[in-house]
Chains A and B, each alone.
Chain A
Amino acid sequence: MDLGASNIAALSAPNPHRLSSKVVREDEPVLVAAAKSGDAAAFEELVNRYERKIFRLTMNITRNREDAEDAMQDAFMKAYSHLNNFQEDSRFYTWLVRIAANEALMRLRKRRPNQFSLDEPVEGEDDLMPREIQDWGPSPEQRFAQSEMHKILDQVIDQLDPDFRTVFVLRDIEELSTEETAAALGISVPAVKSRLLRARLKLRQKLDRYMRDRKAN
């Protein structure tokens, strides 16, 4: 693969998706203030705004529709009950994500207790180095029908260790910053970075198998 210097530099860039303006509309603080003072319609508007994203989050963490629904519902109920505890120096959406992620993780731990250790996940460097590296060729994702790609991604993310998957979901899918992710999960910034690296490397490795098979066919 031959990339010029300017093209190499293009590989390193802040994620343009990760801008708060994409998620937070200007009237959010007004709605939050109204909801805090007892305006139920304002809170419902906040629910309408974020319910799809919160369901996607709880689905991605729990990998189970029933648990995802329960986690989403309990997250909104808790947000409503504890709205006065919300400090407006952070984003309402981030606060909501934090509640929803914890509700989802609680259910995942109940359903799959063996996937969680009491200690921090093992984060040694030995298994990190990619093996048998091969180019995927141009537009590899276009070799798959959309439904087929969704199925593959579903299988691939399902196989990821829950601790790594949760960080990947918050950072890359829900577009939280490293600091927001650390705060949401109660872990350090270096732990977020370490888990994100492992999640991305593992997902790349798992996708690699499908890409190579399709390239060979």
Chain B
Amino acid sequence: MNCRHLILEVSNYIDGEVDAALRQEIEEHLKDCPDCMVVVIQMKLTVEIFCDNQVVELPQDVRSRLHEALQRRIRNPGS
């Protein structure tokens, strides 16, 4: 395991989608490589920050237009 190999697997690793043998290799490498450790931690944090900050609201006018269009379609299924 070298740094390049680890970077190619980092995404699968943080998702828990590597097999036991590869996981062990990765973790052995991480114990001795502070740079790769920082990248793994920061990638995990990046995903968490995006997940935690999703605040797209559905505006009321957009919702009203959706439901009006839906009502029209329900009344006139062929339109």
Q: How far is the CA of A64 from the CA of B57 in the complex (A)?
A: 14
- Which of A47, A134, A193 lies in contact with B70, CB distance below 8 A? A47
**Quick check: is B41 within 8 A (CB to CB) of the other chain?**
yes
Specify which chain A residues have a CB less than 8 angstroms from the CB of B43 in the assembled complex: 200-201, 204
Q: If A11-B41, A204-B46 touch, does A55 touch B58 (CB 8 Å cutoff)? A: yes
CB-CB under 8 A from A136, the residues of chain B are 42, 45
Question: Are A77 and B46 within 8 A (Cβ)?
Answer: no
Q: Residues of A contacting B7 with CB < 8 Å?
A: 128-130, 201
Contact for B40 among A11, A56, A196, CB less than 8 A: A11
B51 and A47 form a contact (CB under 8 A):
no
Residue of B17, B37, B47, B77 touching A172 (CB-CB under 8 A)? B47
Contact B54 A130 (CB under 8 A): no
Question: In the bound complex, how far is the Cα of B42 from the Cα of A59, in angstroms?
Answer: 26
Interface string of A27-59 (1 = CB under 8 A from B): 000000000000010011001000110011001
Does any Cβ of B come within 8 Å of A90's Cβ?
A: no
Contact residue among A15, A73, A204 (Cβ-Cβ distance under 8 Å from B42)? A204
Contact: B50 with A157, CB < 8 Å? yes
Indicate the size class of the contact surface on chain A: 35 or more
- Min C-beta distance of B29 to chain A, whole Å: 10
Nearest CB of chain A from residue B38's CB, rounded to whole Å: 5
Residue from B11, B31, B58 in contact with A193 in the complex, judged by beta carbons closer than 8 Å = B11
Q: Verify if B21 is at the interface (C-beta below 8 Å from A).
A: no
- Give the residues in chain A near B13, CB-CB below 8 Å: 11-12
> Does A149 reach chain B (CB closer than 8 Å)?
yes
- Give the CA-CA distance A128 to B69 in the complex, in Å: 45
A11 contacts across to B, CB distance below 8 A: 13-14, 30, 40-41, 44
Query: Which residue from chain A places its CB closest to the CB of B46 in the assembled complex?
Result: A204
| B15 close to A133 (CB less than 8 A) | no
CA distance A173 to B4 in the complex (A): 27
| Cα distance, A104 to B4, chains bound together (Å) | 35
Shortest C-beta distance, B7 to chain A (Å), equals: 6
Q: Contact between B40 and A72 (Cβ–Cβ < 8 Å)?
A: no
Instruction: Give the Cβ gap from A128 to chain B, nearest Cβ, in Å.
Output: 6
Q: Which of A3, A12, A65, A77 contacts B23 (CB 8 A)?
A: A12
Instruction: Check: A191 CB closer than 8 A to any chain B CB.
Output: no
Given contacts A153-B49, A204-B43, 12 further A-B contacts (CB under 8 A): A1-B37, A8-B37, A15-B47, A47-B70, A51-B66, A76-B66, A80-B73, A81-B77, A196-B11, A201-B10, A204-B46, A207-B46
Show the binding face of B for A, using Cβ within 8 Å: 3-4, 7-8, 10-18, 23, 26-27, 30-31, 34-35, 37-47, 49-58, 62-63, 65-67, 69-70, 73-74, 77
